[in-house]
């Protein structure tokens, strides 16, 4: 009679305890990584290699996605603005939504899928083949040698990728709005320049993308570092990276938007 | 080594592209360049009602932006709004008897100050005050005037 109830309770309790334990390990990982960060700056070679993996290889998807998002914004924005007879402000709609929101957020989501999952899988495989343990045996700190360069590369790559995303997005909107729908080219740019503020919009967008970069790499590295050293464990950790990063980015985005842009 | 070199070039290209995108966004997409260089001169103007005019709203002469609204305050004696207009120093061309009016760009657009030049030979200097001003049109006042006139017409009949 009581058994099913107890079972449910036990499940719930285990889930909560697991989550708490994982948060605790995440925090410990964070504390351990902090002191390793400055030392790895002395070996830029490692960071450059990771920049290639994390940044250059993400370029393709970021540029293509950015162009298409900008083009869709151009089409949708035009059809709505044209009903109010203010199709000239198309540029502002495209530029503001890209610079403030879509640029950082979509870049972070794509980044989690493209680079974050790769980082987790790489670290997870290193762990399951005991390469990390091997390094420790040779008195090489894997946090300094393996994790920290990847952290720096991710944090550096995110703002650059987000800026590229926004820029090709604005150009994509320009191509659709001006090239296809006949918005005046001059007013497209001049409206953007008069309405988009450097401090309010561009700098806040960059801050957002840096924060998202930190969050995305941090989760990816932690999941890889913490995964069960089995094939299944690695695959689960990779999934968790994408899911958790997406949730964290979307939640943080709401909080940061509420704080930054006093609506 | 060859492969490593290629990789370095790609990373360099990536970082350069990213920084170029950041600069382009800052310079071309935002209003960083269209800010007055800080070397303008400030002219005051008093308005009865500034409507929705905001700090940093453009100041236009014949539609060309010549400056930005720098501050908006209240004159405690006359209870009128005092708008400080920062005009770029290359436009030291406004006759003393120029007038300023608050317009709206488009039906729903932002408000800006339009300057109509006068005829005098001396030009406005820093700290001068524009005497002739025309306030922003407040839609409610306009509608109530219209209704009032209609009612008056009805009385006559």
**Reported confidence tier of residue A195, pLDDT bands at 50, 70, 90:** confident
d(CA A192, CA A21) in angstroms, rounded, equals 48
| Residue B85 structural domain | 41-143
Q: Residues A69-78: what's their mean pLDDT?
A: 92
HSE toward the beta carbon, residue B140, CA cutoff 13 A: 2
Residue A262 pLDDT exceeds 70: no
Q: What is the 3-state secondary structure (H, E, C) of B52-83?
A: CCCCCCEEEECCEEEEEEEEEEECCCCCCEEE
Q: Residues A41-54: what's their mean pLDDT?
A: 87
Residue A72 pLDDT exceeds 90: yes
- Of residues A157, A167, A196, nearest to B24 (C-beta): A167
Q: In angstroms, what CA-CA distances link A50 with A55, A171, B31, B121?
A: 8, 29, 35, 67
Same domain, B51 and B15: no
Considering only CA atoms, which of A254, A222, A224, A249 is closest in space to residue A110? A249
Of A108-122, A198-212, A218-232, B96-110, minimum mean pLDDT range: B96-110
Q: Residues A76-88: what's their mean pLDDT?
A: 85
Helical H segments across A84-203, by residue range: 90-96, 103-111, 117-128, 131-137, 142, 148-174, 185-195
Residue B138 pLDDT exceeds 80: no
Q: Do A192 and B11 touch (CB under 8 A)?
A: no
Q: Angle at Cα A244 formed by Cα A238 and Cα A246, nearest 5°?
A: 105
**Is some CB atom of chain B closer than 8 A to the CB atom of A48?**
yes
Number of domains in chain A: 1
* In-domain check, residue B23: yes
Tokens of A227: 């995964």
* In-domain check, residue B154: no
Mean pLDDT score across all residues of chain A: 89
Percent pLDDT > 70 in chain A is 99
- Model pLDDT for residues A136-183, shown as the tens digit of each residue: 889 888 888 888 999 999 999 999 999 999 999 999 999 998 888 888
Chain B neighbours among A 88-147 (CB < 8 Å)? Answer: 95, 99
Q: Residues A207-231: what's their mean pLDDT?
A: 91
Same domain, B64 and B127: yes
Residue A223 pLDDT exceeds 80: yes
* In-domain check, residue B151: no
The confidence score (pLDDT) of residue A184 equals 80
Q: Which of A85, A161, A167, A186 to mutate to test the interface with B (most CBs of B within 10 A)?
A: A167
Sequence-distant contacts of A123-127: CB under 8 A, at least 24 apart: A123/A147, A123/A150, A123/A221, A123/A224, A123/A225, A123/A227, A124/A223, A124/A224, A124/A227, A124/A229, A124/A233, A124/A234, A124/A237, A124/A238, A125/A234, A126/A224, A127/A224, A127/A225, A127/A227, A127/A229
CB-based contacts of A62: which residues, under 8 Å, 6+ apart?
Answer: A107, A110, A111, A161, A164, A165
Mean pLDDT score across all residues of chain B: 82
**Reported confidence tier of residue B21, pLDDT bands at 50, 70, 90:** confident
The confidence score (pLDDT) of residue B3 equals 59
Number of domains in chain B: 2
Residue A112: count of CB within 10 angstroms of its CB:
26
Top-confidence residue, A13 or A185:
A13
| Residue A212 structural domain | 3-260
Considering only CA atoms, which of B41, B12, B8, B39 is closest in space to residue B127? B41
φ, ψ at B99 (rounded to 5°): -120, 155
The confidence score (pLDDT) of residue A116 equals 92
Residue A211: count of CB within 10 angstroms of its CB:
20
**Is some CB atom of chain B closer than 8 A to the CB atom of A81?**
no
Top-confidence residue, B138 or B121:
B121
The DSSP bridge partners found for residue B123 are B95
Q: Do B31 and A193 touch (CB under 8 A)?
A: yes
Tokens of B42: 């400030």
d(CA A148, CA A165) in angstroms, rounded, equals 26
Same domain, B1 and B55: no
Whether the CB-CB separation of B55 and B139 falls below 8 Å is answered with: no
Which residues in B lie closer than 8 A to residue A192 (C-beta atoms)? 29
> Would you state the torsion angle of the CA atoms of residues B39, A196, A95, A175, taken in this order, to the nearest 10 degrees?
-40
Same domain, B28 and B46: no
**Is some CB atom of chain B closer than 8 A to the CB atom of A47?**
no
The confidence score (pLDDT) of residue B65 equals 82
Q: Is A223 exposed, middle or buried (0-12, 13-18, 19+ CB in 10 A)?
A: buried
Query: Given the DSSP bridges, would you call strands B81-87 and B41-47 parallel, antiparallel or unpaired?
Result: antiparallel
d(CA B4, CA B15) in angstroms, rounded, equals 16
d(CA A252, CA A208) in angstroms, rounded, equals 9
Whether the CB-CB separation of A81 and A183 falls below 8 Å is answered with: no
The DSSP bridge partners found for residue B58 are B68
* In-domain check, residue B108: yes
φ, ψ at A85 (rounded to 5°): 65, 25
Considering only CA atoms, which of B69, B128, B67 is closest in space to residue B97? B128
Of A43-52, B67-76, B104-113, minimum mean pLDDT range: B104-113
Whether the CB-CB separation of A191 and A88 falls below 8 Å is answered with: yes
Same domain, B75 and B94: yes
**Reported confidence tier of residue B2, pLDDT bands at 50, 70, 90:** low
Same domain, B17 and B72: no
Percent pLDDT > 90 in chain B is 1
* In-domain check, residue B15: yes
Considering only CA atoms, which of A35, A238, A234 is closest in space to residue A147? A35
The confidence score (pLDDT) of residue A40 equals 83
**Reported confidence tier of residue A263, pLDDT bands at 50, 70, 90:** low
Minimum Cα–Cα distance from B13: chain A residue: A56
Whether the CB-CB separation of A161 and A58 falls below 8 Å is answered with: yes
Whether the CB-CB separation of A90 and A76 falls below 8 Å is answered with: no
Q: Which of B5, B14, B15, B112 to mutate to test the interface with A (most CBs of A within 10 A)?
A: B14
Same domain, B51 and B27: no
Residue A210 pLDDT exceeds 90: yes
The confidence score (pLDDT) of residue B157 equals 60
* In-domain check, residue B64: yes
- Model pLDDT for residues B40-91, shown as the tens digit of each residue: 888 888 888 888 787 778 888 888 888 888 888 998 988 889 999 888 888 8
* In-domain check, residue B106: yes
- Of residues A99, A156, A160, nearest to B29 (C-beta): A99
């Amino acid at each position: 009679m009581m058994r099913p109830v107890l079972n449910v309770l036990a499940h719930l309790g285990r889930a909560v305890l697991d989550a708490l334990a994982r948060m605790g390990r995440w925090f410990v990982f964070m504390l351990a990584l902090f002191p390793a960060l400055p030392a790895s700056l002395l070996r830029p070679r490692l960071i450059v290699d990771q920049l290639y993996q994390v940044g250059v290889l993400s370029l393709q998807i970021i540029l293509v996605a950015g162009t298409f998002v900008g083009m869709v914004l151009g089409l949708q924005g035009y059809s709505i603005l044209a009903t109010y007879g203010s199709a000239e402000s198309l540029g502002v709609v495209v530029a503001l939504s890209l610079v403030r929101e879509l640029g950082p957020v979509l870049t972070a989501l794509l980044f989690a899928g493209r680079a974050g999952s790769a980082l987790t899988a790489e670290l997870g495989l290193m762990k399951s083949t005991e390469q990390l343990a091997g390094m420790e045996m040779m008195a090489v700190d894997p946090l300094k040698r393996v994790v920290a360069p990847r952290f720096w590369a991710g944090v550096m790559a995110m703002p650059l990728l987000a800026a590229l995303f926004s820029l090709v997005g604005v150009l994509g909107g320009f191509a659709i709005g001006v090239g296809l729908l006949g918005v005046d080219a001059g007013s497209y740019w001049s409206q953007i320049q008069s309405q988009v503020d450097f401090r309010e919009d561009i700098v806040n967008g960059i801050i957002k993308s840096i924060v998202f970069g930190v969050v995305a790499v941090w989760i990816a590295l932690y999941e890889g570092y913490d995964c069960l050293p089995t094939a299944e464990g690695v695959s689960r950790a990779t999934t968790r990276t994408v899911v958790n990063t997406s949730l964290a980015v979307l939640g943080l985005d709401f909080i940061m938007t509420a704080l930054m842009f006093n609506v | 080594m060859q492969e490593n070199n290629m990789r370095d070039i790609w990373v360099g290209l990536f970082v350069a592209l990213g920084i170029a995108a950041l600069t382009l966004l800052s310079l071309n997409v935002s209003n960083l360049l269209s800010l007055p260089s800080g070397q303008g001169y400030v002219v005051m103007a008093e308005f009865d009602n500034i409507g929705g005019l905001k700090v940093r709203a453009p100041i236009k002469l014949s539609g060309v932006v010549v400056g930005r609204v720098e501050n908006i305050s209240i004159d405690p004696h006359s209870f009128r709004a005092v708008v400080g207009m920062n005009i770029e120093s290359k436009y030291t061309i406004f006759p003393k008897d120029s007038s300023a009016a608050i317009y709206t760009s488009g039906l729903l657009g932002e408000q800006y100050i339009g300057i109509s030049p006068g005829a005098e030979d001396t030009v406005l200097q820093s700290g001068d005050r524009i005497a002739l001003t025309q306030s922003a049109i407040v839609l409610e006042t306009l509608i109530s005037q219209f209704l009032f006139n209609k009612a008056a017409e009805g009385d006559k009949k």
